[in-house]
Amino acid sequence: MNSMQKYDLIIVGGGILGLSHAYHALLKKKKVLLLEKNSQAMGASIRNFGQIVPSGFSATWQGYGRSSLKHYLDIASQADIAIRQEGSIYIASDDEEIQLLEELHQINQSNDYPSHLLTAEECTFRYPNVTKQYCKAALFFPEEINADSQKTIPAITLFLIKNLGLDVAYNRTIIDIYTNAHEVIAFDHQGDKWLGEQLVLCNGDEFSTLFPELFAESDITLVKLQMMETVPQINTLKIPGSILTGWTIRRYESFQECPSYQTIKSRENEQDFQRRFGVHILFKQTAEGSVILGDSHEYADVNQRDDLRLFETNEVINSFMTDAASKIMDLDYKIARTWIGCYSQRKSGEIYHHTIDDRIHIVTAIGGKGMTGSLGWAEEHINKIF
C-alpha cells in the first residue's frame, strides 16, 4: 500500500457502513482502501447491541436487513465473525402489545418472512428467566442474528483484508477531500494524499471535520444512548438471541405499519419518564455470559451536539432501566460496565446520502438500524457507483 497508488474506491470510516461498502466493491474485484482515524473503528458500530433484526424496520429496510442476514451468514461461512443465528423474540406485556404482535405476524406472513406467535407458557418455557408476571405472549423471528459487535467489526475487517484483499490505513484522520478532472483525493492529518476513482465517506456522527457546512444545513439529528453490561453469569443463565420487550413493540418502525398502532400510541402519555428518555428494554447475552441491556435515547440537532453532554452518564436513566428490566427478566443485575453510544439519523428519510462531483459519495445517518441494514443497502449503492 502506498499513497501514490490509485484505488478504484477509497472508503473513509471503518464502521459497519464503511465495511459494507468495502465488502461489495471487493466482491466486484475493485481495488479498495479503507481509511480510519482511530486504531480501529470506535464509533456506534462497536458500541451497539449487535441485534440484526430486520423484523424491527419498515418494509423497505426489512428488505435490506434480510439481504444483510444473507451476507453476514456468507461471511461467517468463511471466517469467524462472532455472530450467532438464534432468532429474536418480542415479548408482549399487555393486550395492546399482543394486538400489535398479532398484526405484525400477519404482515410478515404476507411478506414471506418467517415468524411464530408463542403463548406466554411457550415463551417462558423457552426463556425460563423471563418472568411470568411480565410475559403475556411473544413473537419469534427464527432467522435473525446476534453479533458481538466489539468482535464482529474487527473480524469483518480482518476477513476483508485477508480473504478479499482490502488495504487499510488506521490512525489517519481525513481532513480534506476534493476532486480534479481525473480522480478524488483524500488528504490526511499526517500530510499524505490518497488517490481514488471514487470515494465513499461513512463518517458516522463526526460532522465537524469534513463538509461541515453541508451537515450544518442537513436534517440530521444526533442520538445519545446509554448501555449497560452485567457481570458474567454463564453457569446460571442461557438467553439465546435478541430479547425485545413491550416498549420496543411500541417503538420500532415495523409496528408503525400495524393497523392498531396509531390508536394504541395515542393512549400513551408523552410526559412519562420512559417516553421522555426514549427508554425501551432489550437484552442480549454475550458469549462470555454477561448480559447487555439498555437503552435510552436523547436527541439533539446536528448543530447542537454539545447539548447531549456525551461526556456523562445519567444514573437516573440507568437505574430506571435496571428496575424495569428486573420486572421482565430474572438475572444478576450487578453491572460491570456502562457506556454511551451516539449515532446520527435523519428527521425525514432513512439515511443521508449525497454525491459531489460524481466521485464523492457521503453516506451516514443510518440511525438505529446500521448493524441490520448496512450490508444490504451498501450492495445497492455500490451497484450504482460501479
Ligand X SMILES: Cc1cc2nc3c(=O)[nH]c(=O)nc-3n(C[C@H](O)[C@H](O)[C@H](O)COP(=O)(O)OP(=O)(O)OC[C@H]3O[C@@H](n4cnc5c(N)ncnc54)[C@H](O)[C@@H]3O)c2cc1C
User: If binding is defined by CB under 6 A, does position 135 make contact with ligand X?
Assistant: no
Task: Give, as ranges, the residues between 297 and 326 that touch ligand X (CB under 6 A).
Answer: none
Query: For ligand X, which stretch binds (CB under 6 A), given 31-39, 72-80, 190-198, 230-238?
Result: 31-39
Q: Which stretch binds ligand X (CB under 6 A): 11-19, 70-78, 255-263, 313-321?
A: 11-19
Residue from 10, 45, 127, 280 touching ligand X (CB under 6 A): that is 45
Residue 343 in the binding site for ligand X (CB under 6 A):
yes
Of 99 and 203, the one with the shorter C-beta distance to ligand X is 203
Q: How far is the CB of 269 from ligand X (least distance, A)?
A: 25
Identify the residue among 32, 33, 43, 222 touching ligand X (CB under 6 A).
Answer: 43
Among 24, 37, 250, 251, the residue binding ligand X under the rule CB under 6 A is 37
* 227 is an interface residue for ligand X by CB under 6 A: yes
Q: How far is CA 306 from CA 38, 227, 298, 315, in A?
A: 22, 20, 12, 19
What string of H, E and C letters represents the secondary structure of the chain?
CCCCCEEEEEEECCCHHHHHHHHHHHHCCCCEEEECCCCCCCCHHHCCCCEECHHHCCHHHHHHHHHHHHHHHHHHCCCCCCEECCCEEEEECCHHHHHHHHHHHHHHHHHCCCCEEEEHHHHHHHCCCECCCCCCEEEEECCCEEECHHHHHHHHHHHHHHHHCCEEECCCCEEEEEECCCCEEEEECCCCEEEEEEEEECCCCCCCCCCHHHHHCCCEEEEEEEEEEECCCCCCCCCCCEEECHHHHCCCHHHHHCCCHHHHHHCCCCCCHHHHCCCCCEEEECCCCCEEEECCCEEEEHHHHHHHCCCCCCHHHHHHHHHHHHCCECCCCCEEEEEEEEEEEECCCCCEEEEECCCEEEEECCHHHHHHHHHHHHHHHHHHHC
Q: Is the link from the previous residue into 358 a cis peptide, with omega within 30 of 0?
A: no
* Minimum distance from residue 3 beta carbon to ligand X (Å): 15
Regarding 58 and contact with ligand X (CB under 6 A), the answer is no
Return the number of the residue (205 or 298) whose C-beta is nearest ligand X.
Answer: 205
Minimum CB distance to ligand X, residue 326 (Å): 20
Span interacting with ligand X, options 16-24, 163-171, 259-267, 268-276, rule CB under 6 A: 16-24
Our CB check for ligand X shows the closer of 106 and 150 to be 150
The site for ligand X, by CB under 6 A, has a size of 44
| 89 vs 371 by CB, closer to ligand X | 371
Give whichever of 9 and 98 is closer to ligand X, judged by the CB atom: 9
C-alpha cell at 97: 402489545
Name the residue nearer to ligand X (CB basis): 108 or 372.
372
- The grid cell for 95 is 393486550
Distances (CA, A) of 371 to 50, 110, 149, 173, 260: 6, 25, 9, 23, 28
Residues 358-377 touching ligand X, rule: CB under 6 A, are 364, 366-372
- Per rule CB under 6 A, is residue 36 in the interface with ligand X? yes
Give whichever of 125 and 339 is closer to ligand X, judged by the CB atom: 339
85-114: which residues touch ligand X (CB under 6 A)?
none
CA distances from 141 to 27, 59, 118 (A): 29, 15, 11
Q: At its nearest, how many Å lie between ligand X and the CB of residue 323?
A: 19
- Which residue number, 49 or 255, has a Cβ lying nearer to ligand X? 49
Q: What mask, x for binding ligand X by CB under 6 A, covers residues 168 to 187?
A: -----xx-------------
What's the closest the beta carbon of residue 147 comes to ligand X, in angstroms? 8
Distance of CA 85 to the CA centre of its chain: 16
Q: Candidates 39-47, 155-163, 243-251, 352-360: pick the segment binding ligand X (CB under 6 A).
A: 39-47
Q: Which residues bind ligand X (CB under 6 A)?
A: 12-18, 35-38, 41-45, 47-51, 173-174, 202-206, 209-210, 225, 227, 295, 341-343, 364, 366-372
